Amino acid sequence: MKFLHLSDTHIRMNYTTNSLTNELFNEYNNPTIHLANLLKQIKEEEYEFAIITGDLVHEGSIEDYELFKQLWQEIVPEIPYYFCRGNHDRQHSFFEGMDVCRSEEGDYLSYQMKDGLRIISLDSAQEEHHEGKISIAQMNILTEWLKKSAPKGTILLQHHPLAWEEPGIATEVPIGFEDVIRQSDVIGIFVGHIHQGTTMPYAGKMQYMAEAMSFGVDEYPDRSIFTNRNGYNSCSLTDQGLFVYHHYICPEQTVIGQLAKPFEGNF
């Protein structure tokens, strides 16, 4: 079973109407074009499905989500995709734009099966804060979903990392959440948000982060530096286990912008 892991596509029809995207993107560095070009390249490859770990659009409208879906349908309609909500996927447009339902708390939660593999999406996004949080209600739902093992195990999707080296970046979770993951059949945790391709352990499982499709981020004590680096992961689930490969589309470190720390709110 082979699948594609994309993250932080940050699609917009018009990048000039947002202060951050207006600074970062132009006709030569356009995330919408990046996504379209990649989908055209993978069209002939045998990916059974794709996962997108949040920030599908950048604080956009319903029409921006329609553009995302249109690109996928026109280029790779034969590849189904599963996704989670990121901090730049605002609730007011995300649910209608992606035509999905809210939980009682207003979150996007998803449980789906693909040829024996269970795919669960949690909602770590907060409307007023940049970093992630998982509620007790989400943990309780996840616990119920994981009570029975899936034939090929479970992959967990959420936007924000559960594990990260820098304090304050890891997702805030309720007491007991780590034990839920540790005792489950989860074979991989797939995340985004940081715009860096990394692999880290969490609760005895492996967490896989994809490079962003839109732009790269290099962190320094006083600022975040944005570059034109981008990429994705390809994943293979075999009898030996789960293999995840990092791929760079544009590996150069050309600086395209920066943001001083500390961040205020959910930029």
Cα–Cα nearest to 109, from 119, 118, 124, 122: 122
Show pLDDT as tens, one digit a residue, over the chain (267 residues). Answer: 999 999 999 999 999 988 888 888 887 789 999 999 999 998 777 899 999 999 999 999 999 999 999 999 999 999 999 999 999 999 999 999 999 999 988 999 999 999 999 999 999 998 778 889 999 999 999 999 999 999 999 999 999 999 998 878 899 999 999 999 999 999 999 999 999 999 999 999 999 999 999 999 988 888 889 899 999 999 999 999 999 999 999 877 899 888 887 666 665
CATH superfamily of 2-260: Metallo-dependent phosphatases (3.60.21.10)
Cα–Cα nearest to 218, from 183, 261, 189: 261
Give me the sheet containing 81-84, strands edge to edge. Answer: 81-84, 49-53, 2-6, 230-238, 241-250
To the nearest 10°, the Cα dihedral for 251, 256, 261, 267? -100
Cα–Cα nearest to 242, from 195, 207, 191: 207
d(CA 32, CA 215): 12
* β partners of residue 263: none
Roughly how many angstroms between the first and final C-alpha of the chain, as a whole number?
Answer: 37
d(CA 66, CA 93): 10
Distances (CA, A) of 136 to 123, 174, 183, 249: 12, 6, 17, 38
d(CA 181, CA 179): 5
CB 139 within 8 A of CB 176: yes
Q: 254 CB contacts (<8 Å, ≥6 apart)?
A: 227, 228
Cα–Cα nearest to 211, from 243, 233, 234, 228: 233
Q: What is the pLDDT of residues 143-182, one digit of tens each?
A: 999 999 999 999 999 999 999 988 788 999 999 999 999 9
CB 115 within 8 A of CB 2: no
Cα–Cα nearest to 217, from 264, 169, 255: 255
Considering just the CA atoms, what is the radius of gyration of the chain in Å?
Answer: 17
pTM above 0.85, yes or no: yes
**DSSP letter string over 170-233?**
SPB--TTHHHHHHTS-EEEEEE-SS-S-EEEEETTEEEEEPPPSS-EEEEETTEEEEES-EEEE
Q: What angle do CA 38, 43, 49 make, to 5 degrees?
A: 90
**What pLDDT, on the 0 to 100 scale, is given for residue 263?**
62
